[in-house]
Amino acid sequence: MSEKFDVVIIGSGPAGYVAAIKAAQLGLSTACVEEWVDDNDKVKLGGTCLNVGCIPSKALLDSSYKFAEARDHYDVHGITIKGASMDVPAMLKRKESIVNQLTGGIAGLFKHNGVTPVQGRGKVLSGGKVEVTDKDGNVSVLDAANTIIAAGSVPVTIPPAPVDNEYIVDSTGALEFTEVPKRLGVIGAGVIGLELGSVWGRLGSDVVMLEALDDFLPMMDTQISKETAKIFKKQGLDIRMGTRVTHAEVKDGQVEVSFTTADGDQVEQFDKLIVCVGRRPRTENLLASDSGVTLDERGFIYVNDFCATEAPHVFAVGDVVRGPMLAHKGSEEGVMVAERIAGKAVQLNYECIPSIIYTHPEVAAVGKTEQELKADGIEYKAGTFPFAASGRALAANDSDGLVKILADAKTDRILGCHIVGPSAADLVQQVAIAMEFGSSAEDLALMVFGHPTLSEAVHEAALAVDGHAIHVANRKKRK
């Protein structure tokens, strides 16, 4: 007989493990199926985010940033450090320690909340069944009153640059370099490419980023994208737009990359090449032909606004469904689904989900961009404030960037916030909270912000929406 559960979840990344914990907290018998195993052949929880994505990359970003600050910028504070060097193996060891602490923490939370971890690859069958194939090839079946698919995503591969996990690597391999490449090529100047390029660039790599698109960070507000590009150029990242890679191969311990630009065909050599051109939903061998779950033309699982698939009592959340591939988006979808299974009428506000690039300075956004508002014919007002006018940012020697707030021209309701600058990830959340409560720009402008803080930049941008900024000259309103 198969084991019976109220909820069976496939995948233990941020979408899956959060859904599992919430379901168990709501009194539902819950199992979470995860394919990954650790060095001891035990199930390893946390998915891509905790093991080879969000968390390890942020560990390397922080370590590399501290090193670059000590090497290049502490002198402005009167601190002299001679001969600063980076012990790359020690940096990697710290990263692994953080990963193990957090993945172990999930295991502890599963035990505390009564979630049953199941090692194996899950597959959705018809009739409320989930097939599990463990690491040894043994097959079992779980009886699920409800199934939540949270299988995550995998890096996109491209034929011109086949990954060999030594010289040509994907985003996972780029977290494991044991020494700093002298010259590093990065295919893709999106979120992942910028973060990984920043890590190794800070540590001394000559980083060249090859991006096929003509526009830099097109999903961001255009003003923020342009400002970000200027900052990264000043940092030494060589970002080449409109550059299409046609071939890459290893020759004599170097990666020879052929690419095409407006100037014609070119060839350059790199010590390592990172391929990070995006991610795709991990849906191969996930669904039986009669499961009733359907995929769209891009391979994403089709769901409605509440993450329900077309199969009864089968849901899908996170990277396998529509929308941005963000860990926090998947987590909240997991919570929503668990709550709805338990009979609670909750829903997720997709308009207030922030997006973040963890470079330095950080880039963060929530809501509509200026170009989206123009395209939709929405009349709006904009207020900006530069960190160069922030006392706190100047005191920290961290004053690149700006805050931008967009509000409806008639109602003054906040429609979006876009930031490049110090602590942008945390600052944008303040505006996300305001937007969730339907706040106006005036609401933020009337609030008292602590001084001196970086948050004051948000306050001043809100004031600037109506030309009332105090610490920067206001734009004259058009008549």
Residues 57 and 148 in one domain: yes
Tokens representing 237? 């990242």
For the chain, the straight-line distance linking the first and the last C-alpha, in angstroms and rounded, comes to 76
Does a structural domain hold residue 475? no
Torsion of CA 86, 89, 91, 96, to 10 degrees: 180
Residues 124 and 188 in one domain: no
CA nearest neighbour of 218 among 247, 243, 191: 191
Instruction: Look at strands 139-149 and 314-316 and give their pairing.
Output: parallel
CA nearest neighbour of 417 among 366, 374, 379: 366
Q: What is the pLDDT of residue 479?
A: 43
Q: Which residue among the candidates 73, 112, 247, 451 is catalytic per the annotation?
A: 451
Residue 258 belongs to domain with CATH number: 3.50.50.60
Does a structural domain hold residue 476? no
Domains in the chain: how many in total?
3
Q: What is the pLDDT of residue 60?
A: 98
Residues 143 and 183 in one domain: no
Is 7:142 a contact under the CB 8 Å cutoff?
no
Q: What is the pLDDT of residue 347?
A: 94
Does a structural domain hold residue 383? yes
Residues 172 and 150 in one domain: no
Residue 1: count of CB within 10 angstroms of its CB = 5
φ and ψ of 123, to 5 deg: -140, 130
Residues 390 and 318 in one domain: no
Is 184:255 a contact under the CB 8 Å cutoff?
no
Residues 409 and 268 in one domain: no
Q: What is the pLDDT of residue 477?
A: 62
Domain boundaries, position 362:
354-464
Three-state DSSP class for 413? strand
**Distance of alpha carbon 45 from the chain centroid:** 19
In the listed set 250, 277, 304, which residue is the last one of a domain according to the structure?
Answer: 277
Q: Cβ-count burial of 262 within 10 angstroms (0-12 exposed, 13-18 middle, 19+ buried)?
A: exposed
Residues 338-346: contacts with CB within 8 Å, 24+ apart? 338/7, 338/19, 338/22, 338/23, 338/26, 338/28, 338/148, 339/22, 339/26, 340/306, 341/6, 341/7, 341/23, 341/26, 341/28, 341/146, 341/315, 342/23, 342/26, 342/27, 342/28
Residues 25 and 41 in one domain: yes
Residues 393 and 410 in one domain: yes
Tokens representing 337? 């689904």
For the chain, how are helix, strand and coil distributed in percent, rounded to 5?
A: 35, 25, 40
Task: Name the amino acid, one letter, at 35.
Answer: E
Torsion of CA 260, 264, 270, 275, to 10 degrees: -10
In the listed set 277, 296, 323, which residue is the last one of a domain according to the structure?
Answer: 277
pLDDT tens, the chain, 479 aa long: 479 999 999 999 999 999 999 999 999 999 999 999 998 889 999 999 999 999 999 999 999 999 999 999 999 999 999 999 999 999 999 999 999 999 999 999 999 999 999 999 999 999 999 999 999 999 999 999 999 999 999 999 999 999 999 999 999 999 999 999 999 999 999 999 999 999 999 999 999 999 999 999 999 999 999 999 999 999 999 999 999 999 999 999 999 999 999 999 999 999 999 999 999 999 999 999 999 999 999 999 999 999 999 999 999 999 999 999 999 999 999 999 999 999 999 999 999 999 999 999 999 999 999 999 999 999 999 999 999 999 999 999 999 999 999 999 999 999 999 999 999 999 999 999 999 999 999 999 999 999 999 999 999 999 999 999 999 999 776 54
Does a structural domain hold residue 329? yes
Does a structural domain hold residue 161? no
CA nearest neighbour of 361 among 237, 231, 452, 238: 231
Q: From its phi and psi, is residue 80 left (phi > 0), alpha (psi between -120 and 50) or beta?
A: beta
Residue 451 belongs to domain with CATH number: 3.30.390.30
Residues 351-354: contacts with CB within 8 Å, 24+ apart? 351/435, 352/432, 352/435, 352/436, 353/324, 353/326, 353/328, 353/329, 353/432, 354/328, 354/425, 354/428, 354/429, 354/432
Dist. CA 416–CA 221, nearest whole Å: 10
Does a structural domain hold residue 123? yes
Catalytic residue check, 451: yes
Dist. CA 286–CA 315, nearest whole Å: 13
4 CB contacts (<8 Å, ≥6 apart)?
29, 142, 143, 145
CA atoms within 13 A on the CB side of 414: 34
Residues 223 and 371 in one domain: no
pTM score, whole prediction: 0.96
Task: Name the amino acid, one letter, at 336.
Answer: M
In the listed set 277, 297, 320, which residue is the last one of a domain according to the structure?
Answer: 277
Dist. CA 169–CA 78, nearest whole Å: 40
